[in-house]
């Protein structure tokens, strides 16, 4: 499915001003790794290029044992359990906030004596930035499944007490990045989740590889409350190539969205992050919404860029090179803060809502809406 039209490079007229609001515990949202660290190389060289233009590079893969795989809501600070099958991501988006997680894994291993100084230096070359994209830690399948058994028991215990929270797969790294083609960790997790009782589950991905698992997704939707988020910030190929050069192109993601919705899966667009001055214009938003509507999306849910330290190092140089006039605005708006000014975020939200009304779509997060409806039903039943 091809985008409807190529977009010109329009910049937003929304001013950056106001005070930032609070932020979640991003460190916990990314990953919380416990257990043995293995530097055994399990594969050399990236998997082959797939449809949509994913990167074919020289990635290396390393074992990582874990004792826990689900990060609880109190760790994420976001009201959900997060799950990431990999540490590091071959897609290498410039605005990714999870890059520090790779350094955290290697530094922790070095501090505990599991990595020698020589090995540690190797993992730091050529830089921690590139290491996140090229040295991928694969959580061992058997360790993941054993950890999932323990964590699900804990999750079900909390659900029984009335503290139900969804599981979100892919909060820090893409669960369908090229490594999944070889290691099948995400598919193994989905199989295990299928065997348990009712859950609220969501997956976030940029990859059309998710359609490989349509058989499992259909069964999961029948047994659980399932939502799939296809991440797409713009249908402008030039923007994707600048900021997500190793990710599938828009037409591939929209095609995957179409396959999911045709199969009866609740799916939509995760329009995050909205890049200030780049993807926030009314024209950009309208075009994205139209393409999502044509692909059968149930929603387009936006979130404005959060300017964490891990984002600045990779993202700002691209902005400075491609959109130099925006640099003073970024520095003024995000001075000393991670969040965009509230009035700017609200203006962006209004633009999405106007486009949503035009195309008869929603900008609400469907998983959050479902959870709120479930809580309301439970509250009503408790009064009977």
Residue pointed to by tokens 């830690």:
137
Burial-class residue 190 by CB neighbours within 10 Å (0-12, 13-18, 19+).
buried
Residue 161 has pLDDT above 60, yes or no: yes
CA 343 centroid distance within chain: 25
What is residue 237's predicted lDDT score, i.e. its pLDDT?
A: 97
What is residue 310's predicted lDDT score, i.e. its pLDDT?
A: 80
Give the Cα separation of 343 and 51 in Å (integer).
40
| DSSP secondary structure of 291-352 | HHHHTT-S-EEEEE----HHHHHHHHHHHHHH-GGGHHHHHHHTTT-SSPPHHHHHHHHHHH
Nearest 5 degrees, angle CA 110-CA 32-CA 225?
A: 155
Give the Cα separation of 168 and 191 in Å (integer).
15
Superfamily of domain 34-382: Aldolase class I (3.20.20.70)
pLDDT digit string, tens, across residues 179-216: 999 999 999 999 999 999 889 999 999 999 999 999 99
Give the Cα separation of 258 and 251 in Å (integer).
10
Element (H, E) at 207: none
What is residue 128's predicted lDDT score, i.e. its pLDDT?
A: 53
With pLDDT > 90 as the criterion, what percentage of the chain qualifies?
58
- Give me the count of residues in the chain: 384
What is residue 209's predicted lDDT score, i.e. its pLDDT?
A: 98
Distances (CA, A) of 86 to 67, 93, 174, 298: 14, 15, 8, 28
What is the rounded average pLDDT of the residues 340-352? 96
What is residue 14's predicted lDDT score, i.e. its pLDDT?
A: 44
Quote helix, strand, coil % in the chain, to nearest 5: 45, 15, 40
Give the Cα separation of 215 and 75 in Å (integer).
32
pLDDT digit string, tens, across residues 32-48: 444 445 556 665 444 33
What is residue 216's predicted lDDT score, i.e. its pLDDT?
A: 98
Domain ranges of the chain: 34-382
């Amino acid at each position: 499915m091809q985008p409807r039209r190529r977009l010109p490079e329009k910049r937003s007229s929304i001013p950056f001003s106001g005070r930032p609001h609070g932020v979640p515990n991003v460190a916990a949202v990314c990953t919380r790794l416990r257990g043995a660290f293995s530097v055994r190389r399990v594969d050399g060289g990236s998997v082959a290029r797939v449809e949509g233009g994913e990167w074919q590079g020289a990635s290396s893969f390393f074992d990582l044992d874990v004792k826990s795989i689900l990060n609880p809501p109190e760790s994420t600070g976001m009201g959900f359990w997060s799950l990431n099958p990999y540490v590091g991501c071959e897609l290498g988006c410039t605005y990714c906030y999870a890059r520090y997680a790779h350094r955290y894994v290697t530094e922790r291993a070095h501090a505990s004596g599991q990595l020698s100084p020589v090995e540690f230096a190797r993992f730091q070359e050529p830089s921690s930035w590139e290491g996140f994209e090229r040295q991928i830690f694969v959580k061992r399948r058997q360790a993941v499944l054993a950890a999932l058994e323990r964590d699900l028991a804990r999750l079900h215990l909390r659900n029984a007490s009335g503290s139900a929270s969804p599981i979100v797969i892919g909060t820090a790294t893409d669960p369908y990045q090229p490594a999944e083609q070889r290691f099948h960790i995400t598919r193994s997790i989905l199989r295990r989740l299928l065997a348990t009782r009712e859950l609220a589950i969501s997956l976030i991905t940029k990859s059309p590889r998710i359609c490989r698992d349509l058989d499992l997704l259909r069964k999961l939707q029948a047994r659980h409350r399932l939502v799939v988020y296809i991440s797409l910030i713009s249908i402008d190929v030039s923007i994707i190539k600048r900021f997500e050069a190793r990710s599938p192109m828009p037409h591939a993601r929209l095609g995957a969205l179409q396959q999911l919705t045709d199969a009866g899966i609740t799916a939509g667009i995760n329009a995050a992050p909205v890049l200030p001055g780049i993807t926030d214009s009314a024209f950009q938003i309208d075009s994205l919404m139209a393409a999502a509507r044509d692909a059968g999306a149930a929603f387009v849910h936006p979130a404005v860029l959060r300017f964490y330290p891990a984002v600045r190092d990779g993202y700002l140089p691209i902005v400075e090179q491609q959109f130099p006039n925006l640099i003073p605005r970024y520095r003024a708006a995000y001075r000393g803060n991670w969040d965009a000014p509230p009035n700017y975020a609200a203006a962006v939200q209004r633009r999405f809502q106007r486009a949503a009304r035009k195309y008869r779509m929603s900008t609400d997060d469907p998983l959050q809406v479902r959870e709120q409806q479930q809580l309301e039903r439970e509250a009503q039943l408790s009064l009977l």
